[in-house]
Amino acid sequence: MREQTETTEGYLMDGGCIRKNARDELLEKARTHTRECALMGHCIESGYGIVSEDDRLVMLDPEATRKVVDIVEATDTEEGIRLRVAREKQDGQMETTTVEEIS
């Protein structure tokens, strides 16, 4: 069986903010989601998702959290942080292999 891979690009948003916003407003909210919010303790603990320009939501696995935090801590972007995330299927679940900021 071949391993499945996928790459997703979009705006970073933490799980807590994803849950508290209406689904039909998520892309708009993700475009202005702040670096400061993404680095709050409870936001880091809630995990992260990527909201794509075509309004698709991809929740990232817990293993992605450290990679995401490292990038968010290093960026100068204050809001609307855009990431490219590569994932591959391992043991039946999608696991994040790489995370990078895109402009």
Question: Which DSSP state fits 3?
Answer: P
Read off the pTM: 0.92
CA–CA distance, 2 with 89 (Å, rounded to integer): 9
Phi, psi of 94 (to 5 degrees): -80, 125
The pLDDT score that the predictor gives to residue 82 is 98
Q: Please report where in the chains the tokens 């204050």 appear, as a residue.
A: 78
Rounded (to 5) percent helix, strand, coil in the chain: 35, 35, 30
User: In the prediction, which pLDDT does 53 show?
Assistant: 96
Q: Which domain holds residue 26?
A: 5-102
Report, in angstroms and rounded to the nearest whole number, the Rg of the chain calculated over CA atoms: 13
What pLDDT score does 50 carry? 97
Write down the pLDDT at residue 3.
59
Reference 13, options 62, 68, 66, 67; nearest CA is 68
Is the pLDDT confidence value at 88 over 90?
yes
Q: What is the pLDDT of residues 28-81, one digit of tens each?
A: 999 999 999 999 999 999 999 999 999 999 999 999 999 999 999 999 999 999
Residue 78: per-residue pLDDT = 97
Number of domains the chain contains = 1
Amino acid letter, residue 83: L
